[in-house]
Amino acid sequence: MQVEVWSDVVCPWCYIGKRRLEAALERFPHRDQVEVVWRSFQLDPTAPEGETHPTLPALARKYGTSVEQMRANMAQVEEVAAGEGLEYHLADAVSGNTLLAHELLHLAAEHGKRNELKELLLHAYFEEGRPVFDVDSLVPLGVQVGLDEAEIRSALTDRRYLAAVRQDSATAQSLGATGVPFFVVDRKYGAAGAQPAELLLQVLERAWADANPLVTVPPADGCTDDSCAV
């Protein structure tokens, strides 16, 4: 059975959703026969490459609220993350274009390292406050999971996996995804948002038991197309 997960590496609900999926899989009796595939989804593909900006004031402006209120909203998400064993520092984060990070994930997939790199990217960004938007920031993370530095630089400079990232995004759109995380099991069952582990387990069990057209559950907290409303 295949579980595809569309997500972005700067989506706070995506890391929460990853932990909840892992918890569901731990309780799924057929977990050894489940392949988890991480698909690319950019929350803001229009963000200029090579530029970063503080996330907190940008989100406050976007949603027409004060910096103080947005900081409080972020604190609520941090509390949810803590319940999943994650330590967020959202108010200190910077935002940028994540296209290169997704391209690196496709390179890692060719070497059987996509799962490890996905975890490392999320951990680096949310728990360590490290940037994940440019080649020099991404190289050490790729090397850490066993990729060759020269190959990383070549692939990202040549934009070798740009088409693959865009194909992931197009597929997500065709499946009806408008935000992330977005879980799809065997292209038959879908779950939008950082659903509780119990519900994800139910989706896995149902998908294992039968094969019906794509069934979706009501959306949970997640991130919209262009940015995250925390």
pLDDT digits (tens, 9 = 90+) for 5-50: 999 999 999 999 999 999 999 999 999 999 999 999 999 999 999 9
Over range 145-174, report the average pLDDT.
97
Distance CA 169, CA 39 (A): 8
DSSP 107: H
Q: Which residue has the higher pLDDT, 228 or 201?
A: 201
Q: Is residue 220 scored above 90 in pLDDT?
A: no
Quote the pTM value: 0.91
Helix intervals (H) in 84-220:
99-110, 114-122, 135-144, 149-158, 162-174, 197-209
Write the burial class of residue 168 (CB in 10 Å: 0-12 exposed, 13-18 middle, 19+ buried). buried
Query: Residue 20 in contact with residue 200, Cβ under 8 Å?
Result: yes
Q: Going by CATH, does the domain composed of 2-224 fall within 3.65.10.10?
A: no
Q: Is residue 212 scored above 50 in pLDDT?
A: no
In degrees and rounded to multiples of 5, residue 76 shows phi and psi of -65, -40
Over range 159-165, report the average pLDDT.
98
pLDDT band for position 219 (50/70/90)?
confident
DSSP 180: E
pLDDT band for position 108 (50/70/90)?
very high
Over range 112-141, report the average pLDDT.
98
Residue 127 contacts by C-beta under 8 Å, 6 or more apart in sequence?
A: 86, 87, 88, 89
pLDDT in tens, 166-202: 999 999 999 999 899 999 999 999 999 999 999 999 9
